[in-house]
Amino acid sequence: MSTQTEGENKATTQQDLVAQYDRFKDFGENARKTYEQLYREMMFSLNVEHLEPFNRVLLKNDEVQIKNMESVIEHMRQKLLEKLLKKWNDFWLSSGVSESLISLEMYKEKFKEYEGKDWKIWNKSPEELTRPIRMQLNGNRIRYLQLQLDYQRDQLDQVLQENIEHRKKLEEIALQRTQLMKMMEEYEKKFELDKPEILRLQLDLLDFGNESPETEIAKK
């Protein structure tokens, strides 16, 4: 029953957030349009007087004078405004400024009851003022150390796995060596058993080679 109630409360909270977001969804776009209008007005404020210093320098140094000042100014307005608005809109979209402004307005509404409250922040000691920052830094250090430990644990597991594989290979080599030693011992035993017969055959061969021609004739 409690689980169902918690689920309903969570769903209600999400619905409230969606409804609150919908109330401020135009706030970011309106702010962007306001800034864009300010930039347009700033560019439109350019006039012939702004080019007069450049015109005097050109006339003095190169004996050249800018003609059609109004056309030049109009061209400058268009190019500057085009470049400025492109950079501005790219920054606005890539940085998520609209979403950040909407979130800020939602937080302002959520914590409106604390507006104007005196938190007596200047009565706190430097240690108390910096405690949240230090806690956050310590949390970051702990997370960093945890990542280092996880990485080292992975490296250790990898080394242990490699050692296990090397140990298996060494055990296989040791087993093969034991089997070869056993085979050599068996061959040596067999050789020792067959040695008298081998010697007898050698003597018979030697005796056969030493027989005289008369003996061979007699045998025939």
Cα separation, 43 vs 74, in Å, equals 10
Cα separation, 75 vs 66, in Å, equals 14
Split the chain (220 residues) into runs of 10 and give each run's mean pLDDT: 50 76 86 91 81 72 71 84 90 91 88 79 78 87 91 90 88 88 87 81 70 50
Cα separation, 177 vs 183, in Å, equals 10
Cα separation, 39 vs 70, in Å, equals 20
Half-sphere exposure of 61 (CA within 13 A, CB side): 6
Amino acid code (one letter) for 130: T
Q: Encode pLDDT of 89-139 as tens digits.
A: 999 999 999 989 998 888 888 888 888 777 777 777 888 878 888 888 888
Domain ranges of the chain: 2-116
Cα separation, 16 vs 46, in Å, equals 48
